[in-house]
Amino acid sequence: MTQPQGAVEGGLDEPAGLEPEQGTLDLAGDGDRWTVQDWEQAAAAVLRKSRRLQDDDPDAAVWSRLTRTTLDGIEVTPLGTPALLEGLQTQGRPTRVGPWDVRAHLGGTGVPAKQANEEALVDLDGGVVSLWVTADAATDLPALLAGVLLDLAPVVLDAPTAPVAVAEAFLAHLGATTPAEGTNLGADGRASEEDLVAVARLAREKGVLGVVVDATVAHDLGASDAQELGYSMWVGARVLRVLSAAGIDVAEAARLVEFRYAATDEQFPTIAKLRAARRLWARVLELSEVPADVLPAQRQHVVTSRPMMSKYDPYVNMLRTTVAAFSAGVGGADAVTVLPFDSPLGRPDLFGRRIARNTSHLLVDEAHVAKVADPAGGSYAVEKLTDDLAVAGWDVLGRLEEGASLDDAIAETVARREREIATRKRPITGLTEFPHLAEQLPERAPDPAAAAVRRYGAAFEELRDAPAARPVFLATLGPVAAHTARATFATNLLAAGGIAVEVAGPTGSVADVLAAYDASTTPVVCLAGADATYDEWADQLVPALREAGARHVIVAGKPRDGVDDSCAMGVDALAFLTRTREQLQ
């Protein structure tokens, strides 16, 4: 059989997929018709009120102000227009129709089988459809899966260290039972050729899936969406090569494979990524000369992102995973795993697991998200973003096939993301924005099966893990109405670094501020007031504070002469907080 060398030789010039539907029905009345210029005018008015546009800026400047650039350098437009569909290189639609498979994760490695079994049965009773089981050669699968109806509940194995042994143990436990559709013996697409072929043959004999191409491996390292896509195609093409070389028909090999992707709380990029993945896989199969009439659709298992979650204010993780699960469903995922909100704290408890599985049920059964196939299809902005990601992912695939280092590319992405997080251009609610220093984190037992993942906000979490021993004195200048905006900004910024504040309160003079300041409590002072107040008496206040014992004076706002540091919107928060903590030592 032809091996899929074409995956590196071909391009996206003749895309796979369905032809776009012909004809539209325009239901807009005359009073509902608006032009792009009308939108520019309305958007510009809002941006001028928030001072993001100046009065003399043209209305058309809203495009540059509101367009967001992804980590792949792809521009995400603030408004979809028909012009975006000009020159698209790919096409195709998600194939799932109806509800997605609600899949729970069971960490078998290092977790007592009885405990994992109890969790599995509770999840299944609570509406979970399938189980994703992490195991190794020492895992007691019969005990872990006791009471699980394997003809009804698909099981997807995840055994990176012993794929053949775990597959054989599962099949032995399965016995004569006809496995549920979607059951997967789960050989990792990166496994040795010997293990990959052995598990694939076992899967063929039993009529189940046999391989998982796990792109979350790249995501967890910090990969961008396009890098995750390119990596998955690279591993997927490798699986086809290995299995076809072993005598398995390419089309049959493709039907043994399931892909695993990560879903983040960035809604539209996640939707577009999953739509792009199907197009890319269809193109790989076309170039592998799989006949169009037997072209198998890509099967997708989508997991809410591990690194997007936060250890602090963990309940916000419920919002993140809800958006991620919604995006996965809209993007066409066949199965969705929502990781419990308390995963970053240790082993999730029953409440965390219940909320995780109920997230999908709420989306499917109450919000009816799955009633429409490909609800984002036809959206000008989503179609453009899907195409851009497909093209970018294909480029990553080509570079990987040529021997480029994925690690180096991911390192560049991680560095860029961390710069954006450090400057709070990419905010993390509850951690870099609106932190709560006095919060009491839920207690969870250590999780021996937890994946080693560096969360996006890890640098800020490290600061919060070791709070500053002393506070910063917040020298609020003037009445509350005059200083509250900058005082709130400075308080939240300092809290993101584990630094508390002592507030002077309303003041009317240098003497009022000095009366509230106690140098024995802290040597660091942050001025917070209006620019007019700074101009009026900050020049007298700063020397007076230094004479009273202040060693380091910060101003909330633009830098000023006579102070040691400043903080304002766009500041490198991580660098600023590190400097401030050093002065507090």
pLDDT digits 0-9 by tens, 239-257: 999 999 999 999 999 999 9
Say how far apart CA 85 and CA 72 lie, in whole Å: 20
Closest by CA to 475, choosing from 521, 512, 436, 435, is 512
> Is 90 exceeded by the pLDDT of residue 108?
no
Share of the chain above pLDDT 90, in %: 88
Average pLDDT over residues 462-482: 95
Least confident of 15-19, 280-284, 322-326: 15-19
The pLDDT score that the predictor gives to residue 370 is 95
Q: Give bridge partners of residue 438 from the DSSP assignment.
A: none
Domain ranges of the chain: 38-67, 101-399, 466-584
Reference 216, options 324, 136, 306, 299; nearest CA is 306
Q: Count the Cβ atoms, other than its own, within 10 Å of residue 436.
A: 12
Lowest mean pLDDT across 2-6, 53-57, 87-91, 240-244: 2-6
Helices (H), 466-504: 480-495
What's the burial of 352, exposed, middle or buried (CB within 10 Å: 0-12/13-18/19+)? buried
Residue 493's contacts (CB-CB under 8 Å, 6 or more residues apart) are 567, 571, 573, 576, 577
| CATH H-level, domain 466-584: superfamily | Cobalamin-binding domain (3.40.50.280)
Q: Is the pLDDT of residue 14 over 80?
A: no
Please report the pLDDT score of residue 448 as a whole number: 82
CATH architecture assignment, domain 101-399:
Alpha-Beta Barrel (3.20)
Tell me if 294 sits within 8 A of 108, measured CB to CB.
Answer: no
Phi, psi of 107, rounded to the nearest 5 degrees: -85, 95
Q: What is the largest CA-CA distance in the chain?
A: 87
Decide: 139 and 113 in contact? Cβ < 8 Å: yes
Residue appearing with tokens 């910024």:
493
Is residue 111 scored above 90 in pLDDT? no
Residue 180 is predicted with a pLDDT of 97
Dihedral-angle region of residue 207 (phi above 0 means left; psi in -120 to 50 means alpha; beta otherwise): left
**β-strand pairing of 209-214 with 184-188:** parallel
In order of 65, 180, 376, 481, the CA distances from 36 in angstroms are 16, 52, 21, 39
pLDDT at 17 over 80: no
Evaluate the CA torsion angle 271, 274, 280, 285 in order and state its sign.
Answer: negative
For residue 304, the SS3 value is strand
Least confident of 14-23, 145-154, 495-504, 505-514: 14-23
Task: Say if strands 68-69 and 75-76 run parallel, antiparallel, or are unpaired.
Answer: antiparallel
What are the start-end ranges of the H helices in 130-223? 141-144, 163-174, 193-206, 216-221
* Element containing residue 132 per DSSP (H, E): strand 130-134
- Region 468-475: mean pLDDT is 96
In the block, residue with structure tokens 């109920």: 358
Tens of pLDDT, residue by residue over 518-546, are 999 999 999 999 999 999 999 999 999 99
Flag whether pLDDT at 286 surpasses 70.
yes
Give the DSSP H or E segment for 349.
Answer: none
Q: What is the DSSP string of 213-253?
A: EETHHHHHHT--HHHHHHHHHHHHHHHHHHHHHTT--HHHH
For residues 263 and 309, the answer to whether their CB atoms sit within 8 Å is no
Mean pLDDT of the chain: 93
- Tell how far CA 581 is from the center of its chain: 30
pLDDT at 6 over 70: no
Nearest to 78 by CA among 386, 377, 385, 328: 385
pLDDT at position 107 is 80
CA dist 18 and 252 (Å) reads 22
Can you tell me the mean pLDDT for 392-403? 97
Partnered with residue 263 across adjacent β-strands are 304
Summarize pLDDT for 48-64 with one digit per residue, the tens.
998 899 999 999 999 99
C-alpha dihedral (496, 498, 502, 506), degrees to nearest 10: 0
